[in-house]
Chain A
Amino acid sequence: MSQEYQVLAGPEGYLPPAAAVMGVELPKTGEALVEGSLVSDTEALHKIADKLLSAKNPFFFPGPLLLWAWKAGVAERAQAVRDLADAVGAGVIPMPDYRPKYPMINPAIEINPNHPNLTIWHNKIDVCVFVGVHCHYANIALKIIRGGTSCYTIALCGEAGHEDAMISLRDVNLAKIQELTAIVMDKKRQIAGGGK
């Protein structure tokens, strides 16, 4: 077992291992994962902003936990993610549920955790953000994406995070999403002004 397994953009080939089995551990409170290494939450926020702003075709994949106003506070978080995507200039394709879609989903408007490659290939997505997806299904999809595409994956997780994403935050709440949006806006201003 390697202690230095890196979670990098693929394609890694059929059946890349679960990063947890390769020794990658989930971040503790205040930490985040970048490509299999533990970093501070703040460092990860900046890396996410850099990745999103340098992407050719970034997309957000909001899942059921964000798409339905099933408890107090969800609608506000959904709006904050919409604001973040707008700040980045990213597209949004929902993951409305987890059922395998047969005979074929419409990859222009939907993503599914069991065959996420179809949506990524069809839309030529180079950086994607999972948010509001139940952890089990996010991990299934993140491994398949790493195995079969070159897409760079980011997970904004409200729980403990995802080893199988290239960048993963944990305990993401409304304030954290708004903080990321503010960092994105700040970096955009710097880029527009020619500063660092």
Chain B
Amino acid sequence: MQKVVSPEHLFFEAPREQVFITGSEAVREAVRRANVDMAISYPITPQSESMHLVGDIFKEGYIREYFRGENEFAVMSAVAGASMGGVRVFTATGGPGTLRAFELFSTWSGARLPIVCAFMTRGVNSPLTIQPDTIEMSYLLDTGMIMLHAENAQDLYDYLLKAFPIAEQTEVHIPVGVFADGFFVTHTRENVKVAPVDIKLPPYNAYSAPVPVMDMENVPFRQMRDPFVMKSNYVSYAAHASWQQEVMAAAERARPSISSYLGGLLEVENADADILIITSGTAVSIAREAVAQAKQEGFNVGLVKIKCIRPFPTEEIRALTKNAKAVIVPEFNRVGWLAKEIKSIIPDNDKVIGAPRVFGGMTMPTQSILAEIRRCQA
């Protein structure tokens, strides 16, 4: 029997026990405390184990409903239906699974559904790969969802739990994707501090939603959220445009709660350094080691860990990079979507170095970041 406590108590006040678990097990522990009504699964490497473990806690009575869908598109559609019906839902996917379900992510945002989804990122075909890669995050940047990027299993546990109250605020009420680099986070064990198992988040209150709960039989909600696609006229265009603006506004409104729960959209070490390394996900851990080594060599280097990709910490990064001589952006993908984001918001963006980039399944050697630092100083 779990006791409902406030999010603040669960996140910040309750004593925590340290456990040695994988990222997939961290997902299980977050969902165990999240008061989830329904979880729907479909396997895809490297995500499969997390929803398998969520199934285990369904059997233990922590989740009210759990089943496997026909495929990722079906799962994300079923999740949408459950959320429209007014319950708290959770699912997870990754890589090709993300792409197979892609249409639904924009649909979730447009329908103002506060779904929480874990994305265990991996390379996308072709050629076939199951190795770590964050390229799917590039594709998801403009779906309207909030995007949090975990560095490690601790972040994954914390961000997933915090995603629910962030997503479910009336003024926000859009999906949150919590991203973790596949294998690096999902399949390795780390020390993770978790809250007591006998407490959980308050239940989702569908009656404060900014849209009606989808109940076709009862007033006042016997009404459809009709699409405008069948009409071609000025009124339809204006309504559709205003609708999309409202979804973007919803993400903006999430900034205060993300900041409050995550301690800011980013965190900084040595903010006034000549050379700043800005990155997200597991690249932060590698960059942190590279910064330590670079300091021993006498370089004045700082590290910026971006925790929230959408909404993007635009003003924070503008302020941080104003006096930096060089900005290095290491990434686990070939397109360099984070470097592009940073280049798009600062005026003197020729100082942004989109390197090193690692993809195809390789790890990112610390030396590859050190080499960029040395090159800046040369």
Contacts and interface: CB of A to CB of B under 8 A. Distances in A.
Interface of A: 14-15, 17-21, 25-26, 64-65, 67-68, 70-71, 97-100, 102, 113-115, 134-137, 139-141, 143-144, 147-148, 159-161, 163-164
B252 interface: yes
Given A21-B252, A68-B219, A114-B236, 14 more contacts: A15-B245, A20-B253, A21-B249, A26-B171, A67-B220, A97-B223, A98-B223, A99-B223, A134-B210, A143-B242, A144-B238, A148-B238, A160-B170, A161-B171
Instruction: Please give me the 3 A-B residue pairs with the lowest Cβ-Cβ distance, nearest first.
Output: A68-B220, A135-B210, A18-B249
B246 A143 contact: yes
B235 A114 contact: yes
Most chain B beta-carbon contacts within 10 A, residue among A15, A136, A147, A159 = A136
Contacts of A148: 238
Contacts of A140: 239, 242-243, 246
B248 interface: yes
A115 B239 contact: yes
Nearest to B218: A70
Interface string B99-141: 0000000000000100000000000000000000000000000
Nearest to A18: B249
B210 A70 contact: no
B209 interface: yes
Nearest to A132: B220
B253 A65 contact: no
Contacts of B256: 25
Given A65-B220, A70-B219, A136 B211 contact: yes
Contacts of A136: 112, 173, 210-211, 246
A140 B249 CA distance: 11
Interface in B154-211: 169-171, 173, 207-211
A17 B242 CA distance: 9
Nearest to A159: B170
A171 to B, nearest CB: 11
Interface string B8-48: 00000000000000000000000000000000000000000
B212 A64 contact: yes
Contacts, number: 102
Nearest to B170: A159
Contacts of A18: 245-246, 248-249, 252
B170 A135 contact: yes
B228 interface: yes
Contacts of A114: 228, 235-236, 239
B60 interface: no
Contacts of B245: 15, 17-18, 21, 143
Given A20-B252, A98-B223, A98-B225, A159 B242 contact: no
B226 interface: yes
Contacts of B241: 15
Interface of B: 112, 169-171, 173, 207-212, 218-221, 223-226, 228, 231, 235-236, 238-239, 241-243, 245-246, 248-250, 252-253, 256
Contacts of A144: 238-239, 242
A20 B220 CA distance: 28
Nearest to B228: A100
Looking at chain A's contact residues, is the secondary structure mostly helix, strand, loop, or mixed?
loop
A143 B243 CA distance: 9
A90 B235 CA distance: 27
Contacts of A160: 169-171, 253
Contacts of A21: 245, 248-249, 252
Contacts of B221: 64, 70
Contacts of A25: 256
Q: Among the interface residues B221, B231, B242, which one has the most CB atoms of the partner chain A within 10 A?
A: B242
B118 to A, nearest CB: 26
A162 B243 CA distance: 14
Contacts of A98: 212, 223, 225
19 contacts: A14-B238, A15-B241, A18-B249, A21-B245, A21-B249, A64-B220, A99-B223, A99-B224, A100-B236, A115-B239, A134-B211, A134-B212, A135-B171, A136-B210, A137-B210, A140-B239, A160-B169, A160-B253, A161-B171
